[in-house]
Amino acid sequence: GTAVVVGHVDTPRGRAVFHGLGALTPGHRVEILRRDGRTAVFTVHGVEVVPKDGFPAARVYGDTGVPELRLITCGGTFTPATGYTGNVVVSARLTAALRATAT
């Protein structure tokens, strides 16, 4: 299925965890440490900015039949009055599951 991780691009104090998310391009690797100690490795295949009004939820959150990851943060135009107009959505496919390393 599709796993989703959502994070802020910025805060009133500055950059946040997903500040550089929109700079990812197809081929970048994203590694997620799993509870079992293994690392799930995803390879980015798409980066887009989608409108908040009319957000394509079924496409972004829907099951693709293969393990995928969506990383989502705010994006598009920003104004203090209305905030961001869209969301950056990064789509990635599982390409490896690395074994846990001994500590």
59 assigned to some structural domain? yes
Counting beta carbons within 10 angstroms of the beta carbon of residue 94, is it exposed (0 to 12), middle (13 to 18) or buried (19 or more)? middle
On the question of pLDDT at 102 being above 90, the answer is: no
69 assigned to some structural domain? yes
What tens digit of pLDDT does each residue of 11-43 get? 989 999 999 999 999 999 999 999 999 999 999
On the question of pLDDT at 6 being above 90, the answer is: yes
Output the pTM of the full model: 0.90
103 assigned to some structural domain? no
44 assigned to some structural domain? yes
Domain count, the chain: 1
CATH code (residue 50):
2.40.260.10
- Domain range for 55: 2-98
- Kindly state the DSSP code that residue 9 receives in the 8-state scheme: S
